[in-house]
């Protein structure tokens, strides 16, 4: 996947990671220390479960705006 901004001045290459469910991600980190563990320590643990009635949200485009930079850089996130 290669993304370019509208002007075509810069290109960004990224590799799309394998898709994992929320449960898989939570299980991967259950024994390790991470920002999630630190957040739980500070805010308390809140059980997270996927609710099938909630519509899935897909981020299709991302735009980075930097005020001191040359302008915004956008990237389509679809495969």
Alpha carbon distance 35, 66 (integer Å): 26
Sign of the CA dihedral with 45 first, then 50, 56, and 60 last: positive
User: What are the tens digits of pLDDT across the range 30-53?
Assistant: 776 666 666 777 767 766 667 778
User: What are the tens digits of pLDDT across the range 56-69?
Assistant: 777 788 877 777 76
């Amino acid at each position: 996947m290669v993304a370019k901004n509208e002007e075509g001045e810069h290109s960004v290459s990224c590799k799309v990671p394998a898709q994992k469910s929320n449960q898989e991600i939570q299980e991967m980190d259950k024994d390790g220390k991470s920002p999630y563990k630190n957040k739980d320590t500070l805010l308390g643990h809140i059980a997270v479960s996927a609710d099938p009635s909630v519509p899935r949200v897909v981020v299709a485009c991302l735009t980075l705006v930097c005020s001191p930079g040359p302008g915004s850089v956008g990237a389509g996130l679809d495969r």
